[in-house]
Chains A and B, each alone.
Chain A
């Protein structure tokens, strides 16, 4: 078991009446407009919609990075926005993993250090258990043979797998993935989606922003966002199906 389990009594994410407005030179933009949803442990949710519809903004709010203008969001039963910035950082380290379209690996660190960089949070000397976990994750993602290569020496797919290993190092309850397959070929996309699905199967929760139909198909459920509003969600059905089963 590589992934964390969310405490069963709380949903992985619970959002109610979320709003987010930005003031730009062109005027106010209502990026997220009255969005409510819940994601349970084991869910793998695809968040889709047209460009500029507020998907990334909603993802950042869900990841305790961007406070909502209105509404409440809870992750693992806790509202991170009740914490100060440092507290939220610690909260993110403990509960949320991020995967980005551009991977955002640190160019001067090798594969192993890129995964272990998440352990900087502890400010301690190298944690042996974390190193073992990093090794295990990298082996699992089939890049154990490239531990000491810098990102520029890796293929695109390998880089995204390293990014995924980094996201999972501290065993979060929730993984937020922003277009994780956007830069990948079908084969590597398949691998990443499979690992995300595995994470969900093992009790984690995944919210994945995507434009990719194959990625949507890989998810267990989906939410459709348009102009900041959540127009369609099959989460209820998914929940219901799970409940029925």
Chain B
């Protein structure tokens, strides 16, 4: 005769009590697992939705950026940096600045770490007579883009004009019947027509481009420019110009800037707004997820202790009933010399066995019902993604321990039962 035989025989004799104990444990285990699974599946699903939103937004933004880059590149420069004392109404009136600024401003800007603009193009522009042809032309001296020191080199938006060359707008070369390679004279100096632009329908058609240093010399403005053209970056905020201005003023305080409007800018703004909206939506989704998760955790923090407490009280009550039913048995066993430790072990073993079998039953019930309830309660998340092996192990270990703790007091009462007291009242 040994303890396990006594325990198993007693269990088979008082099946109802043991089954109710086991069912209580099973229910608690299933409830705990379901709560954990529901919380985790919700979090996982939210994370997946947010990740998809982020990926979609990223993809969309990338596409928009590509579109904008292409459009902007086609558009050309859209930022003009002028001397600070330049009257802008004059610029809007005649199309260029009459004031000048040192050419090295372009180099200073290029060597700074400016990020809000790129493709810097210093130029000297002036409307003047082409005395040899009796024409009014817009002369623009350009030297080519000044590469930004801190950026990867980019393909220039326009090519520099070689010394000795001229580039003519459509109206000029058409009306004068000039072809690329022809020699011509401007203000007494010989040039070769390096390039003849096709018709653009703008002031470019009556514009003459010349190498900057030759232009400066011709106009008697050595080392001077009256504008730096640039292509603005697509800044993160809607106030791009403000951002550019703020950055520029720190580097070139003696300048001012203006921006030319364009459909590309509108698209850039739209893109920025779309990005901001998408980011807001993602942030809102994340915030909602965090909030919901916190609420669920709070709810679980209340529910789980109640479930566990209920289960423990249930086990304790059933254990107490078992002890009360077995008072005489305990008295007789104690009388014939069975020690209190054995009595304690008998009752605790019973509780541990109920806990273990209850945990197995609870886990089994959960595993069987999960596929049926997956879509409805667990966000369609696979069971393996919400519950790991360690969770099952914890359930299988914790349930018997909790059952033993719950049955501890009744078991102790049984173990400490005074046999004389029992037998005297027989």
Question: Interface on B for A, CB 8 Å cutoff?
Answer: 1-3, 5-6, 9-10, 12-14, 328-329, 331-342, 419-420, 423-424, 426
Q: Name the B residues within 8 Å of A166 (CB-CB).
A: 336
Q: Name the B residues within 8 Å of A93 (CB-CB).
A: 336-338
B335 and A63 contact, CB distance less than 8 A: yes
A124 within 8 A of B: yes
A89 and B3 contact, CB distance less than 8 A: no
Known: A60-B424, A65-B423. Contact between A89 and B339, CB under 8 A?
yes
In the complex, residue of chain B having the shortest beta-carbon distance to the beta carbon of A163: B332
Known: A65-B419, A65-B423. Contact between A123 and B3, CB under 8 A?
yes
A118 within 8 A of B: yes
| Between-chain CB contacts (< 8 Å), 29 pairs | A60-B424, A63-B335, A65-B335, A65-B420, A66-B420, A66-B424, A86-B339, A86-B340, A90-B339, A91-B337, A92-B336, A92-B337, A93-B336, A93-B338, A94-B337, A98-B332, A104-B328, A104-B329, A106-B332, A108-B9, A108-B12, A117-B1, A117-B333, A117-B338, A120-B338, A121-B337, A121-B339, A130-B1, A178-B423
B329 and A106 contact, CB distance less than 8 A: yes
Known: A113-B5, A117-B6. Contact between A102 and B426, CB under 8 A?
yes
In the complex, residue of chain B having the shortest beta-carbon distance to the beta carbon of A98: B335
Contact of B9 among A56, A65, A92, A109 (CB under 8 A): A109
Q: Name the B residues within 8 Å of A92 (CB-CB).
A: 335-337
Contact of A100 among B329, B340, B423 (CB under 8 A): B423
Contact of B13 among A96, A108, A167 (CB under 8 A): A108
Size of the A side of the interface (Cβ < 8 Å), in residues, is 41
Whole-angstrom distance between the Cβ of B342 and the nearest chain A Cβ: 6
A108 and B10 contact, CB distance less than 8 A: yes
A189 within 8 A of B: no
A85 within 8 A of B: yes
Q: Besides A109-B6, A118-B336, 11 other CB < 8 A contacts?
A: A56-B424, A63-B335, A89-B334, A92-B336, A100-B426, A104-B426, A117-B1, A117-B338, A121-B342, A123-B2, A123-B342
Known: A66-B420, A108-B12, A120-B2. Contact between A100 and B339, CB under 8 A?
no
In the complex, residue of chain A having the shortest beta-carbon distance to the beta carbon of B416: A85
In the complex, residue of chain A having the shortest beta-carbon distance to the beta carbon of B5: A113
A89 and B423 contact, CB distance less than 8 A: no
Which residues of chain A from 24 to 54 have any CB-CB distance to chain B below 8 Å in the complex? none
**Complexed CA–CA distance, A204 and B419 (Å):** 24
B340 and A60 contact, CB distance less than 8 A: no
**Complexed CA–CA distance, A60 and B418 (Å):** 12
B1 and A116 contact, CB distance less than 8 A: yes
